[in-house]
Amino acid sequence: MAIAKQRKDELLREYTEQIEQSHGMILMDYRGLGVGQMGNIRHTVRPVGGKFQVVKNRLMKLALEEAGISLPEEWLVGPTAIGFCFDEVPPMAKVLSRVSKDVDALKFKGGLVGTSVITADQVHVIADLPSKEVLFSQVLGNINAPASQIVGVIASGIRQVLNVLQAHVDKLQEAGDASASPLEQAAEPA
């Protein structure tokens, strides 16, 4: 269905603004997807700072050219929907990956992270990444591990020195008790 020039200009402006505002985009083929399913996907991506939108391929090409971004031409052929990532890309990739497993009609074409083009396989890899909180805790654990090991080694060395000193003190006390008896006897008046 043909759309009016004014509507095309509005869409081009909207696409350009969304490209500028997003940290990444995930392009998908939605062939065979129903209107209700599209609504569910849109509702699902909102909490992760995303927007899922069906785009006009020719107008999206123009918007991408305006932004100085080039994508493989085959990605903008056929029915195309784009997940715009206004917050972070991994949560959006996770949501769309989960949805695509439930909805066979939804297939990854590829995407952008910043201005870097990523393949459909790379989108899956991003979707499989642990959450940011888990990654931070892993990094902090790795940073903290050498310090913990050093503390353990130092504490172990100190414990060993203390054990040796305690053994020496115990030995002196035993020797002192054994030798104190004859001295005490000699020191006592007869």
Which CATH number characterizes residue 118's domain? 3.30.70.1730
What's the domain count of the chain? 2
Q: Are both 124 and 155 inside the same structural domain?
A: no
Matching residue, tokens 């104190």: 180
Q: What pLDDT band is residue 159 in, cutting at 50, 70 and 90? A: confident
Question: How much is the average pLDDT of 2-29?
Answer: 90
Q: What pLDDT band is residue 129 in, cutting at 50, 70 and 90? A: confident
* Strand extents, DSSP E, the chain: 24-29, 50-55, 80-85, 107-113, 116-119
In 3D space, the residue among 118, 87, 121 whose CA is nearest the CA of residue 107 turns out to be 121
Q: Domain boundary residue among 110, 129, 148?
A: 129
Q: Are both 80 and 142 inside the same structural domain?
A: no
Q: Are both 125 and 167 inside the same structural domain?
A: no
Q: Are both 74 and 119 inside the same structural domain?
A: yes
Q: Are both 52 and 123 inside the same structural domain?
A: yes
DSSP string of 28-62, one letter each residue: EE-TT--HHHHHHHHHHHGGGTEEEEEE-HHHHHH
Its domain, for residue 190, covers 131-190
Q: Give dist(CA 150, CA 171) in Å, integer.
A: 32
Q: Are both 150 and 122 inside the same structural domain?
A: no
Q: Is 112 helix (H, G, I), strand (E, B) or coil?
A: strand
| pLDDT for 77 beyond 60 | yes
Question: How much is the average pLDDT of 54-77?
Answer: 91
Q: Are both 31 and 69 inside the same structural domain?
A: yes
Q: Are both 76 and 158 inside the same structural domain?
A: no
Q: Domain boundary residue among 88, 109, 129?
A: 129
Q: Domain boundary residue among 77, 100, 129?
A: 129
Q: Are both 18 and 53 inside the same structural domain?
A: yes
Q: Give dist(CA 23, CA 6) in Å, integer.
A: 28
pTM: 0.68
3-state helix, strand, coil in the chain (%, to 5): 65, 15, 20
Q: Are both 41 and 75 inside the same structural domain?
A: yes
Question: How much is the average pLDDT of 44-72?
Answer: 92
In 3D space, the residue among 180, 156, 45, 21 whose CA is nearest the CA of residue 100 turns out to be 45
